[in-house]
Amino acid sequence: MTFRNGVARRLHLSHARKSIPITAREPGPQSREFQSIKRILIALATVSSFSAAHAQTSQEQRGADLIVINAKIFTGSRAQPEASALAVKDGRIYSVASDAEILALKSSATKVVDARSRRVIPGIIDAHIHVLNDLAYNYNVRWDGVPSLKRGLAMLSEQAARTPEGQWVKVIGGWSPYQFEENRFPTLEELQKAVPDRPLIVQYAYNQAFLNKRAMETLGVGTDRFPKVPDTEFDRDDRGNFTGVVRGYTWLFLALESMVPQPTFDEQVSSMISSIHGLNRFGVTSIIDNGGRWPYPEAQARVDVLARDNRLNVRMPFVDLQLGNGGPVNMVDLEVEAITKTAPISTGQNLHPTLEHGHEYRGAGEVLSGEVHDHENFDRPAVIIKPETMKRFVEQDVSKLVKRRVPFRLHITYNENITPFLDALEEVNATIPLDGLKWSLEHAETISPENIQRVKNLGGGIALDAKMALHADGFIKTYGREKALYTPRLSKLKDSGIPLAMTTDAFRAATYNPWVALSWMVSGKSVSGSEALASDNRLSRTDALKLFTTGAAWFMNTESEMGQIAPGNLADFAILDRDYFSVPEEEIKSVSSVLTVMDGRVVYGAKDYSALTPQLPPILPAWSPVKYFGTYYGEK
């Protein structure tokens, strides 16, 4: 072991003294004294050397792994709202203080990042998203954030030229016609011209889809080959021919997705890497995957590929949805079967070997029964469930989850359906107490103040979503502007004190960019620029951000260790490309991260920090639109 400065000099002196020649004679008093001095010097040098070595080792152990200085840190903590520097050790926030105090924690092994006066925020938590439902992500052209329909059509044309025979050109959700400069949908003629010789589907949320001629032929539109899904409507021209526009609800679009070419296992893993990379770009460090057509434990095999090599770049607790293999099924019974017999797992059990809250089972949902699923298609009137149907569902199925202490989350959009659900749940609670069991309503766009209080009394939470940011203009056409201005009741929900989160519900119903949601909550404007929230129904920038941080942590069961930049909390944070708290409102939707840290390690870097970003494997397949267009418009 080598030592520095004074320690080295002391060792040199001790070695020099050890080499002094001693004559072979009977030691007299003077020589005995010399020998004693010699032994003392050697002992002192040894002790000094050991102490110095121990001190240096201790300093290395005490030193931070990562330090960020020269920052404007929004901590989210009332005790210490602002700071200029932070230190990370072993995946957690070690200290939050001034630059000088934090730099004192530096060791030779510490990585130091200069934020250059940029804003730092806690890592964003998206408490309702569907990564595992989009394992064909790399097959899709993403129109998220594309500013004009002209550019969107050009992207389709470019992709058609590289898409091999037998594959489709697809746009599956994440966009709105109201985001385009043209403020309209594409025409069938425009789509046919852009993609003349490959099957094409352009899907708008779970509302409608546009098919070109090749797609209609391949799917067998107008024949027995096309699935007979209730509430499906085809547009026809004046001569009664199908135009290629099809409208429906969730089940129709799930059926269509199963009829197109499916990705291989490796392509599914690659798709997951791409979608998570896109999330990291916006400062997202944690999500709750809220179920899809890939159920537990099948979907988890894809996650395991990344988890076993510690390459999962987002904390990813999951809620499980069991759709079955077609036909009417009892989804709750299938869930109980999956978690007790097929692959036994308990609530909160983490399938990731090293990452805290890496891939935990967080319960059942968000669809617990197809019979009570009130599809949120704002271009159509509300889907209202019969009260007796809702009551039977809660008594027979939700009660099974309560008895087993399985947390649950229920997709429920309209207040007309929330009321009978709460009526029935209150009755169940009287005989089988919820007693702290975590449950939530997902979406709840039109919930009334009275029902907000009832949810709170039952210990539930509400996970809102930002679909109105993209689709408010359609909602206004269906229900009127006055109703839209208070959909959802953001201000009352925030003031109620109920556990509350804002989510994206990506990748189909809306965009996965949380800054679009934050822009809408703060400015009250949809992506078209029209007024979508009343002035007294908007949130401050701080309160809006908290719905993606401290508020969302409740849904992950991590309130004490996530959502804030505070000592002891998990080291999840992002350095932003502009200051969210001071930029003009119209710029909020354009905010992104230049450095995203999850579990104390860099998972995304751009601009000054591009050299720090982890190298990702090649995107599969080679013709993937993501390889050429990125995960979001404007990605470098």
Instruction: Say if residue 436's pLDDT is above 50.
Output: yes
Pairing status of strand 573-576 against strand 119-122: antiparallel
**Per-residue pLDDT at 264:** 98
136-259: in CATH 2.60.40.10: no
Residue with tokens 């701080």: 542
Mean pLDDT confidence for 31-50? 52
Mean pLDDT confidence for 437-442? 98
Burial category of 173 from C-beta neighbours within 10 Å (exposed 0-12, middle 13-18, buried 19 and up): buried
Mean pLDDT confidence for 598-621? 97
Length of the chain: 636
**Per-residue pLDDT at 33:** 55
Backbone angles phi, psi at 442, to 5 degrees: -105, 125
Dihedral sign for Cα atoms in the order 287, 471, 383, 236:
negative
Mean pLDDT of the chain: 92
Mean pLDDT confidence for 392-404? 98
**Per-residue pLDDT at 183:** 97
- In this prediction the pTM is 0.90
CB of 156 within 8 A of CB of 488? no
CB of 314 within 8 A of CB of 286? yes
Domain ranges of the chain: 136-259
User: In this predicted model, which residue has the larger pLDDT, 326 or 162?
Assistant: 162
- Of 205-209, 292-296, 413-417, the least confident: 292-296
Instruction: Say if residue 15's pLDDT is above 60.
Output: no
Instruction: Say if residue 34's pLDDT is above 60.
Output: no
Instruction: Say if residue 209's pLDDT is above 90.
Output: yes
Burial category of 459 from C-beta neighbours within 10 Å (exposed 0-12, middle 13-18, buried 19 and up): middle
∠ CA 112-117-120 to the nearest 5 degrees?
Answer: 75
- Of 5-9, 100-104, 403-407, the least confident: 5-9
Confidence of residue 407 (pLDDT cuts 50, 70, 90): very high
- Tell me: the pLDDT tens digits for 337-377? 999 999 999 999 999 999 999 999 999 999 999 999 999 99
**Per-residue pLDDT at 636:** 60
Instruction: Say if residue 73's pLDDT is above 50.
Output: yes
**Per-residue pLDDT at 45:** 52
- Tell which residue, 319, 279, 315, has the closest CA to residue 299: 319
Q: Which residue blocks in 532-588 are alpha helix, DSSP H?
A: 541-546, 550-556
- Tell me: the pLDDT tens digits for 587-596? 999 999 999 9
Instruction: Say if residue 23's pLDDT is above 50.
Output: no
Burial category of 342 from C-beta neighbours within 10 Å (exposed 0-12, middle 13-18, buried 19 and up): middle
Mean pLDDT confidence for 376-390? 96
**How many Cβ atoms are within 10 Å of 194's Cβ, its own excluded?**
21
Instruction: Say if residue 516's pLDDT is above 90.
Output: yes
**Per-residue pLDDT at 65:** 98
Would you tell me the crossing angle of helices 514-523 and 467-479 to the nearest 10 degrees? 50
Instruction: Say if residue 621's pLDDT is above 70.
Output: yes
- Of 51-55, 320-324, 580-584, the least confident: 51-55
**Per-residue pLDDT at 325:** 85
**Per-residue pLDDT at 327:** 76
Instruction: Say if residue 531's pLDDT is above 90.
Output: yes
**How many Cβ atoms are within 10 Å of 271's Cβ, its own excluded?**
24
